[in-house]
A and B are shown apart, each in its own frame.
Chain A
Amino acid sequence: MIIRLLFVLGTLLSVGVPVYIVAWLLVPMVGEDSNIATKALADRRGLALAAGLGSLLVIVLVIISVLGAGWLGNLAWPLVIGVAGVALIWRNASPDEQIMLRRLAEPLLGWPRPGKRPATVLRTLAGTVLLAGGLAILLSGHAGAKLLLPLGGLILVVAAIVVILGPWWLRIALALVAERQARARAEERADMAARVHDSVLQTLALIQRNADQPAQVVKLARSQERELRSWLFGGSVPGVAHGRATTLAAGVRLIQQEVEALHGVAVEAVTVGDCGLDDHLDALLAAAREATVNAAKWSGADVISLFAEVEPTEVSVFVRDRGCGFDPEAVPGDRKGLAESVQARMARRGGSAIVRSALGDGTEISLRMPRVGGPRQPSRA
C-alpha cells in the first residue's frame, strides 16, 4: 500500500502515471480476493465521488490559470487523476488499511505537536527544506524549459519525502508485522495448552495407573508426560541451555528425566532452594546422576527418591531406594561406579559421599558439597 501511495505522489509530480495505473489495476491486495480496481469499478458512489473531486479540482485549476498562474497547468492532469485515485483507494481500502492511511497522514496534519522529540523536529525541518528546494527547482525548471533541473528537483522532493516519513513508515510496518506474529503465536499456544492439558496429561496419568503391561507402558507414558510438561510450561525447561543445566534444580530435573527415560524407573525428585552451578556443583550433580543410575540398574526398586537442598554453606543430595541393597564392604571389583564416579569425584572437590546400605534394606547415598559462593535463590519448580 505504501508503494501505491508513493505512486500517487509520483503521479502528482507528473511521472509514473501509466506505471501507477497499470500496477494499480493488476496487483491484487494481500489477503483479499479482488484487487482495488475491481472493487472501485463496482463502487458507484465512489466513482461519483472521484469524478466530483476531479471536476472540482479542474474548476479550481481553471480559475488559477485564469488568474495567471499558468505553470500549474503542467501539473493539472496528474493532479486530477491522483486525487481521484486517492479517493477511490480510500473508499475501497480494507479497515486495516484505512487506519494505516490515517496514521500516515497524522504527522503531516498533526504537526507540530507538543512533546515531539528534537530529532523528529530536526528531521522534519530538513525534509521541509529539501522539499521547498526541490519544488523551487522543479518549478523554475519548468519555467526555464531546462531539461536537467526538473530531474534534480524531483530527486530532491522524493528525498524530502523519504527523510520526513521513511523511518516512521518503516517503524509502523515493522510494528505491524511483529504484532501480528505475536498474536498468532499466543493464540496457537493457548489453544494447544488447553487441549493437551485436558486430554493427554490426564490420559497419561490413567495409563500409568491402570496398565496391564506395567513396565513398558509406564515407561512410555512417563517420558511422554515429561516431554509434554516441558513443552507446556514454557517451551524449554527453565534453567537448561543447550541441553545443559545452568542451575542445580534444573540439573536435578535433567537427571530425573534421563533416568526415567533410559531405565524405566520412576524418580521422585524434590528440590529445596536453588543456585547457579560451578565446578563443584557440577561434580555433585555428576555424582548424583551416577548414584541414581546405579540405583535404577541394580536396586530393583521401582521408585528412586532424589532430594536436593541448597543451604547457605553447602548443597546436599540424597539418593535413596528401597531395593535389594548391598554390602558396601563386599562390592565386586568390576563394579567401580560407586567408588570411582561417586566417592572419588566428590572427594576431589572437597565434598563427601556416604553410602548406607544393607542387604534387603535398600540404599541411601548422601552427597554433600560445600558452597564456594553465590547466594541462595528461591527455587523455581
Chain B
Amino acid sequence: MSASGPAGAGPRVFIVDDHGLFRAGVRSELGDQVEVVGEAADVGPAIAQITASLPDVVLLDVHLPSGGGQAVVSSVKAAHPEVRFLALSASDAPEDVIAVIRAGARGYVTKTISTAELIDAVRRVAAGDTVFSPMLAGFVLDAFAALPAAGADRPALDPELDQLTPREREVLRLIARGYTYREIARELFISAKTVEHHVSSVLRKLQLSTRHQLTRWATDRRLA
C-alpha cells in the first residue's frame, strides 16, 4: 500500500500514545519522511479519530490509560481492516505485547528504536509487511514453546495453527539473534520475500488460532 497523501510524502501515520512528550518527539523525528495525520492519547479518542482519518499506519503504544492498545486495534480492524498497526512500548511485558499482536498489529518495536529503524519499520508495515523485533521473535518462540506438544494426552486441535514449522522456528531464531530479513535470506539461501512469507505465516497463526493455550500462557506469565 503506497502513500495516499501529498506527492512526495511517505505513508500517512497516526500516533497513539498517552505521553504528549513522546508523541511530539516521534512527530518531529519522522519529520518529512512520513505524513503524520493525527495523534490521540487514549483508547476512545484514538478509535474515533483513526476511523475518521483512516491512516496507513497507526503507531500504537501497548499501554494506554484506559486499557491495552489491543482495544484500539480490534475496534478499528473490525470496520477498517486496511488500517495497519505497529505496536511500540517502553516496557516489555510479553503478555501485553502478544495481546496487541494477536489483536491484529503487524509488528512490534521498542521505544528506544533508532529514528532510521522506526521510519523503515513504518514503511514496511505500510507496505503490508511484518516488523518483528528480536524481542518479539523471542516472545513468540516462548509462547509456542510453552504449549504442550500435541499427542500424548491432547490431540492437536489444529496442527496448522498450533505449531510452528521448523523453518518458521529457524527464521524466528535468526530474528532473535539480531538478523535482518535480508541477512536471514542470505543465511538460509532463500529470498527476502520467502522470509517475509514465513514471518507473515507466524503472525497469522498467532492471530487466527483460538488456542486457549496461548491465553493460558499469558495468564501463567502474569501470575508468575
What is A's interface to B at a CB cutoff of 8 Å? 197-198, 201-203, 205-206, 208-210, 229, 233, 266, 268, 270-273, 303-305, 307, 309, 318, 320, 322, 364, 378-381
Chain B interface helix/strand/loop/mixed: helix
The one of A206, A210, A271 that contacts B138, using a Cβ cutoff of 8 Å: A271
Separation of A359 and B128 alpha carbons in the complex (Å)? 35
Contact, CB under 8 Å: A205 / B221 = no
Question: How big is chain B's contact interface, by range?
Answer: 20 to 34
Contact, CB under 8 Å: A309 / B173 = yes
* CB contact under 8 A between A305 and B22, given known A201-B90, A229-B91: no
Contact, CB under 8 Å: A378 / B142 = yes
Asked if B141 is at the interface of the complex by the 8 Å CB criterion, the answer is: yes
A261: shortest Cβ distance to chain B, in Å?
16
Separation of A273 and B140 alpha carbons in the complex (Å)? 11
The 7 closest A-B pairs by CB, nearest first: A305-B178, A270-B138, A205-B111, A307-B177, A272-B141, A318-B177, A270-B176
Contact, CB under 8 Å: A272 / B112 = no
Separation of A378 and B145 alpha carbons in the complex (Å)? 8
* CB contact under 8 A between A268 and B178, given known A205-B90, A381-B92: yes
Max chain B C-beta neighbours (<10 A), residue from A273, A307, A322: A307
The one of B93, B134, B146 that contacts A378, using a Cβ cutoff of 8 Å: B146
Separation of A109 and B115 alpha carbons in the complex (Å)? 73
What is B's interface to A at a CB cutoff of 8 Å? 19, 21-22, 25, 29, 90-94, 111-112, 114-115, 134-135, 137-138, 141-142, 145-146, 173, 176-179, 217, 220-221, 224
List chain A residues, Cβ under 8 A from B138.
Answer: 270-272, 307
List chain B residues, Cβ under 8 A from A272.
Answer: 138, 141-142, 145, 176
The one of B29, B135, B177, B221 that contacts A209, using a Cβ cutoff of 8 Å: B29
Separation of A197 and B91 alpha carbons in the complex (Å)? 9
B209: shortest Cβ distance to chain A, in Å?
18
Closest residue of chain B to A380, judged by CB?
B224
List chain A residues, Cβ under 8 A from B115.
Answer: 209
Contact, CB under 8 Å: B142 / A201 = no
* CB contact under 8 A between A381 and B94, given known A272-B145, A305-B134, A305-B177: yes
Contact, CB under 8 Å: B177 / A380 = no
Separation of A318 and B135 alpha carbons in the complex (Å)? 14
List chain B residues, Cβ under 8 A from A307.
Answer: 134, 138, 173, 176-178
Can you list 11 A-B pairs, Cβ within 8 angstroms, ordered by A?
A205-B112, A209-B25, A209-B29, A209-B114, A210-B25, A233-B91, A272-B138, A272-B145, A304-B178, A320-B177, A378-B224
Separation of A197 and B146 alpha carbons in the complex (Å)? 30
List chain B residues, Cβ under 8 A from A233.
Answer: 91
Max chain B C-beta neighbours (<10 A), residue from A233, A273, A309: A309
The one of B22, B134, B173, B220 that contacts A202, using a Cβ cutoff of 8 Å: B22
Contact, CB under 8 Å: A270 / B19 = no
Contact, CB under 8 Å: A202 / B90 = yes
Separation of A322 and B93 alpha carbons in the complex (Å)? 27
Separation of A70 and B150 alpha carbons in the complex (Å)? 90
List chain B residues, Cβ under 8 A from A229.
Answer: 91
List chain B residues, Cβ under 8 A from A270.
Answer: 134-135, 137-138, 176
List chain A residues, Cβ under 8 A from B93.
Answer: 381
The one of B114, B134, B221 that contacts A380, using a Cβ cutoff of 8 Å: B221
List chain B residues, Cβ under 8 A from A273.
Answer: 142, 145
Contact, CB under 8 Å: A202 / B142 = no
Separation of A216 and B195 alpha carbons in the complex (Å)? 37
Contact, CB under 8 Å: A206 / B21 = yes
List chain B residues, Cβ under 8 A from A380.
Answer: 221, 224
Separation of A361 and B99 alpha carbons in the complex (Å)? 36
List chain A residues, Cβ under 8 A from B173.
Answer: 307, 309
Separation of A111 and B22 alpha carbons in the complex (Å)? 64
Separation of A266 and B114 alpha carbons in the complex (Å)? 12
List chain B residues, Cβ under 8 A from A208.
Answer: 112
List chain A residues, Cβ under 8 A from B112.
Answer: 205, 208-209, 266
B205: shortest Cβ distance to chain A, in Å?
17
List chain A residues, Cβ under 8 A from B145.
Answer: 272-273, 378
Max chain B C-beta neighbours (<10 A), residue from A270, A273, A379: A270
B211: shortest Cβ distance to chain A, in Å?
15
* CB contact under 8 A between A268 and B92, given known A202-B21, A203-B21: no
List chain A residues, Cβ under 8 A from B179.
Answer: 320
* CB contact under 8 A between A364 and B21, given known A271-B138, A381-B92: no
B39: shortest Cβ distance to chain A, in Å?
15
List chain A residues, Cβ under 8 A from B90.
Answer: 201-202, 205
The one of A205, A206, A318, A378 that contacts B217, using a Cβ cutoff of 8 Å: A378
Separation of A380 and B112 alpha carbons in the complex (Å)? 22
